Chain A
Amino acid sequence: MEDKNNIALSVRDLKTFFYTNNRCNKAVNGVSFDVEKGKTLCIVGESGCGKSVTAATIMQLLPTLSRIEEGEIKFQKDDKIINIEKLEKNGKEMRQIRGSDIAMIFQDPMTALNPVYTVGFQISENLKYHTNLNKKEIREKCISLLNDMGIPLPEKRVDEYPHSYSGGMRQRAMIAMAMACNPKILIADEPTTALDVTIQAQIFELMDKLKKENDTAIILITHDMGVVAELADNVAVMYMGNIVEAGTADDVLRRPTHPYTKALLESVPVLGRGKNQDINPIKGSTPDPYNRPIGCQFAPRCNWQTESCDVMPEITQINETHQVRCHKYEQFFEKYK
C-alpha cells in the first residue's frame, strides 16, 4: 500500500460542495483513498452518499453549481504527479487527461451515447484528440476495439447508430470508447444498473479482462454488494459524503467493522437461503443533506449509538489495509467476530 509507484491515483481529504439557493450541500466531505494500478476499487453506498460526485470530481466533470472546496487529487502520469484539483476545469491540461489517461463509463448507455452520430464516430473522437493516428488507422482501431468488446460484425456495426444497438451492446460500445486510448484509470459509475443481470455479468467479465490485460486501475461505483464481492480488490464504503470504512475486499466483506457496512451486508438477501431468511433493512432513511446530524453521520440510524457519537469519529487504522471511522468499532468488532 505504501509503495508509491503502485498508486495510480491518490485522493486526500477531498471536499466537493454544491451551492443551490444559498444553501450548501457537502456532497463529498473529506474523502481519502488510493487507487492501485491494475486493481479494482469499489466505492459502495446508498443513493446520494456522494459516490458519483466523487467520480465526477476526479474527472472535473462537476455541474456548474458545485466546486472542489479542499483536498488533493494526485494523478501519476508517467513519472510526474499531477494535481488534478489545481487544473482548470475545461482547460487544455485537464482535457488531455480526460478520455486518454482517465476515462469514464456511465450508468445508462441508452442516454450516454449521442443519438445522431454513429458509434464509430463517437469512438473515433477519442482517438482523434489523444493520438496521432490518421483517418484510416482510426477507423481500423475503432473496428478492432468493437471486436475486442465482443460486438459481432464490427465492420458493419461501426457505421451504425446507437439506436440500432441493444442495451448491452451500447454499454460495450461505451467501454470501447473509454478504453480507446488505454487509460490508466477507468471510472465506471454504476455501469450495469440499467442492464439486466445476464448482460451485467458479461460486462463485468469484460472489465475484469481489460483490467488484467492493460493493467488499468478501475474505480467501480456501485450499490450492489454482490458485484463488490465478485470484482473488488479494495472497497470503500461511503455514507453521507464520508468514507466510513475502507480496506481490501476481504477486510470489509468478511470482517465489517462499521455498523453501516454490517447493516448494508445484512440488508441483501442471499441466493439459496430460501425465502424465510432474515433481511434487515437499515432503519430510517438518509438524513437531509442540508440538515445533517452533528458528529457521526450514521448515528441516528445506528443501533450502537451513544453520547460519544455526537463527535465526528476519526479514521482508525485497524491493520495495514483496513480503516474505519467509528467510536465503537472495538466493541462492534468483538461482538461480530
Chain B
Amino acid sequence: MTTYIIQRLFIFFPMLLVISFLVYSGLELSPGDAVSHMISPELASTITAEQLDAMREAYGLNQSFLTRYWIWLTSMVQGDMGYSMAGGVAISEIMVKTVPATLELSMVALFFSTILGCSLGVISALKRGSGTDNSLTVAGMAGVSIPEFFFGLVAILLFAIELKWLPVGGRLLPHYETLWDRIPNIVLPSLVLALMMTAGAMRYARSSMLDVLAREFITTARSKGMPEWRVNILHGFRVALTPVVVLIGFRLPLLIGGSTIIEQVYQWPGIGSMFIRSVRASDYPLVMTISLMYVFVVLTASLIIDVLTALIDPRVRLGKE
C-alpha cells in the first residue's frame, strides 16, 4: 500500500508541471493581455503605443513566453504566488479571503449530499418498485437533469423574493459576523448544490445496490440465517459502496474549485466567481494559481479515491508484498 502511494506521488509532480505549462500556453494563446484589460475604455483612444509598451515593460510582459513561464514557476516553487494584475493585491491575500468561503459552501453541500444520497439510494433499491422508489426515482431524474442555475434561480424566486424567508445572495452582511448570522446566507446555495449532488449520488447508489443485491453472495449471506439488515448493509452496501465512493471522490475538487455556477448565481465570494473574473481580465498570476490549485486538488482527490477503493475492496489492493 505504501509503495503504491509513493509510486503515485512520483507521477504527481511531473503531472502538475505539465498541466501548469499547458494552462500557461492556453492563456498565451487567448487574445489580449493583462495590459489591455487594465486600461479603461475612455482612456483607450488617448493612450499611445509607446505608453502601452512602457506598461508592458514595467510588468515584464515584453519578455518571451518561456522566460515568463520560468519566472512564474521559480517564484511559485518558492511559495510566492505573486500579485493580481487586475487589482495589485497579493494573491495569497485573495486566496485567504475566497478559499474559506468556497470550503464552507461546498463542504456543507458535500456532507449532506453524501449522507442523504447514499441512504436514499439504498432505501430506493431495497424497496424497489414501491411508491417510495418510484417517487425517489422521479425526483432523482429531475435533480440530475435540471441545470443548477435554473434550480438556483427558482429557489431565489420562491424563498427569497416571494416568501422572503432567506436572503437573495452574498455571504456576509457587514457587521454580521457570528456563526448564527451566516446561516441564513448559506442555506439556499448549499441546499441547491446539495440537492443536485444528492440526486446524482442517489441514482448511483441505487443502481449499484440493485446490482449487488442480485448477486449470489447475498443469497449465501441470507442462507447463513443472518438478519436482513446485516445481509443488506454489511454484505450488500459494503460492496455497492465502491462506485459511489469514486463518484463522491471526484466531487472533492468542488471543495476548492467551488461550484462556479452556484457561486455566480448567489454572488458567493468564493474561488469559483473569482476564477471567472480573473480569466476575463487575463490576470495571469491569479488564473495560474487558481488552476494549479484546482489541478492539485483533482490529483489529490484521485489519489484519495484509489486509497479508499483499495480499503473497501481488497481486490484492488495493488503492489502488495
Which of A14-22, A73-81, A104-112 interfaces with chain B?
A104-112
Q: Mark A111-122, 1 if CB is under 8 A from B, else 0.
A: 111111100001
In the complex, what distance in Å separates the CA atom of A268 from the CA atom of B227? 43
In the complex, what distance in Å separates the CA atom of A108 from the CA atom of B312? 23
* A100 at interface by CB-CB < 8 Å: yes
* B8 at interface by CB-CB < 8 Å: no
User: Which residues between 63 and 94 of chain A lie within 8 Å of chain B, taking CB atoms?
Assistant: 90, 94
Number of A-B contacts (CB under 8 A): 71
* A61 at interface by CB-CB < 8 Å: yes
| Chain B positions within 8 Å of A103 at CB level | 223
| Chain B positions within 8 Å of A94 at CB level | 225
* A262 at interface by CB-CB < 8 Å: no
Q: Given that A90-B228, A98-B223, A129-B225 are contacting pairs, would A115 and B313 also be in contact in the complex, using a CB cutoff of 8 Å?
A: yes
* A126 at interface by CB-CB < 8 Å: yes
* A96 at interface by CB-CB < 8 Å: yes
Whether B225 lies near A95 (C-beta < 8 A) is yes
* B235 at interface by CB-CB < 8 Å: yes
User: Which residues between 233 and 258 of chain B lie within 8 Å of chain A, taking CB atoms?
Assistant: 235, 238-239
Picked from B216, B239, B312, the residue with its CB within 8 Å of the CB of A112 is: B216
Chain A residue nearest to B236 (CB atoms) is A114
| Chain B positions within 8 Å of A116 at CB level | 238-239, 312-314
In the complex, what distance in Å separates the CA atom of A126 from the CA atom of B219? 14
* B280 at interface by CB-CB < 8 Å: no
Chain B residue nearest to A178 (CB atoms) is B223
Q: What is the minimal beta-carbon distance from B59 to any residue of chain A, in angstroms?
A: 57
* B315 at interface by CB-CB < 8 Å: yes
Q: Given that A95-B227, A106-B216, A114-B217 are contacting pairs, would A61 and B222 also be in contact in the complex, using a CB cutoff of 8 Å?
A: yes
User: Which residues between 146 and 162 of chain A lie within 8 Å of chain B, taking CB atoms?
Assistant: 161
Whether B219 lies near A99 (C-beta < 8 A) is no
Q: What is the minimal beta-carbon distance from B75 to any residue of chain A, in angstroms?
A: 47
Q: What is the minimal beta-carbon distance from B235 to any residue of chain A, in angstroms?
A: 5
In the complex, what distance in Å separates the CA atom of A59 from the CA atom of B221? 12
Whether A111 lies near B215 (C-beta < 8 A) is yes
Picked from B220, B226, B312, the residue with its CB within 8 Å of the CB of A129 is: B226
Whether B223 lies near A59 (C-beta < 8 A) is yes
Whether A98 lies near B216 (C-beta < 8 A) is no
| Chain B positions within 8 Å of A137 at CB level | none
In the complex, what distance in Å separates the CA atom of A330 from the CA atom of B216? 44
In the complex, what distance in Å separates the CA atom of A174 from the CA atom of B220? 9
| Chain A positions within 8 Å of B235 at CB level | 114, 117
* A97 at interface by CB-CB < 8 Å: yes
| Chain B positions within 8 Å of A174 at CB level | 220
Picked from A99, A111, A161, the residue with its CB within 8 Å of the CB of B217 is: A111
* B175 at interface by CB-CB < 8 Å: no
Q: Given that A59-B223, A95-B226, A97-B225 are contacting pairs, would A111 and B216 also be in contact in the complex, using a CB cutoff of 8 Å?
A: yes
Given contacts A61-B223, A130-B225, 12 further A-B contacts (CB under 8 A): A95-B226, A98-B224, A104-B223, A106-B219, A112-B217, A114-B220, A115-B314, A116-B313, A126-B224, A129-B225, A163-B315, A174-B220
Q: Which residues of A contact B (CB under 8 A)?
A: 59, 61, 90, 94-100, 103-104, 106, 108, 111-117, 122, 125-126, 129-130, 161, 163, 174, 177
21 residue pairs from A and B, CB less than 8 Å apart = A90-B222, A96-B225, A100-B225, A103-B223, A108-B216, A111-B215, A112-B216, A112-B219, A112-B220, A114-B239, A115-B217, A115-B314, A116-B239, A116-B314, A117-B238, A125-B224, A129-B224, A129-B226, A161-B314, A163-B314, A177-B220
- 9 closest residue pairs by CB, A with B: A98-B225, A99-B225, A99-B224, A95-B225, A114-B217, A111-B216, A161-B314, A104-B223, A126-B224
